[in-house]
Structure formats: C-alpha cells, structure tokens
Amino acid sequence: VLTVTSRNSNQNLSTKATLESGSLSFSPSTGDYTFAVGTSYPVGILVDSSGKNIDGVDVVINFDPAKVRVEGTNLSTTTIFEQYPLNSVDNVKGVIKLSGGTFTAKPITGIVATFRFQPLSKGEVNFSFSFTPGATTDSNIADNATAKDILGKVENGRYFFR
C-alpha cells in the first residue's frame, strides 16, 4: 500500500492507493451535449481487475434525481458475469445497485452493464461510485485468491448539457 500525505495550513489530505488494484469507471466518463427534452444518453459501467482473477463485483452509484432520470428499473447487463443477483435503479433515492458474479474466477476488463439517462434540465449531471477504500458495503471488486476487495480507483461520470 502506498500512502501519500499532503499538508498545508488549510487542509490535511491523506490518500491511499493499492498498487495493481482494480478500477471502476464509466464509458464515456465525460460529455458535453446540447440539451433536448426527452433525449437519453447511454453509459457503460467498466470494470478492470488489473489482470487479477476475480469472483465478482458490487457497484453502487449515486446521482441527483432532481437533475437526471435513469431509464428503467434495472440495468442492461452483459455476459461478462454469469449472474447478477442485484440489479436495481431507484430514481427517488438516486441510487443504482449492481452485483455480478462468476462461477469461474477470471481477470475482467470490460463493460458489465449499461444504462440510459435523461437530464431534466440544462446543467451538470454527475454519476459517482460509492467507494471508500477498505469498506465492504459500497462498490467492491472481489479478488479470488484473497477474498479481499481490490478496488483501488474509481472514475466518476460528469456530463454537461447546454
């Protein structure tokens, strides 16, 4: 584990990163669009296990339901995982939850699910992974060899509508 600490008179910032750790991101992760009522935009959820054999992934995504609506009550999943025991969209609370699992541990790099969203007005729309290093009740990537969470990095989604 690599620990970096930065201090100045206004802040105390401490960040931990696990070398060769897995990541979650959106595809695309950013966008700049012309707002049009009723237009929806696709986004993929990308998992990268950094070459490690994994058993599964838990994804928790937060968004502001006053700014955006996610279409449907669940995501469109891919065949990267054999099962998706949790797959839900809550447009009232602004939360997307997805759990995917495999019967044969393997390295994963690819889109595990997609969703479409509609901005409700001009402005910025953000989708953020709920992620705290070491926590087990948020987004995670399960390493097969150690049964530990190897998620070390997330890249949130940020979209602008003019």
In this structure, are residues 12 and 19 in contact, taking their beta carbons and an 8 Å threshold?
A: no
DSSP structural state of residue 39: -
Question: 102 pLDDT band (50/70/90 cuts)?
Answer: very high
For residue 114, what are its two tokens? 């997609």
Place 17 in a pLDDT band, splitting at 50, 70 and 90. very low
Query: pLDDT tens for residues 6-15?
Result: 333 333 333 3
Asked if residue 146 has pLDDT above 70, the reply is yes
Q: Place 134 in a pLDDT band, splitting at 50, 70 and 90.
A: confident
Q: CB–CB of 150/141 below 8 Å?
A: yes
Q: Chain-centre distance of CA 109, in angstroms?
A: 14
Residue 136: per-residue pLDDT: 87
Per-residue pLDDT, 125: 98
Q: Is the pLDDT of residue 105 over 90?
A: yes
Give residue 102's identity as a one-letter amino acid code. T
Select from 24, 12, 32 the least CA-distant residue to 58.
Answer: 24
Q: Smallest Cα–Cα separation from 118: which of 69, 76, 72? A: 69
Q: Which of 128, 119, 126 is nearest to 162 (CA)?
A: 119
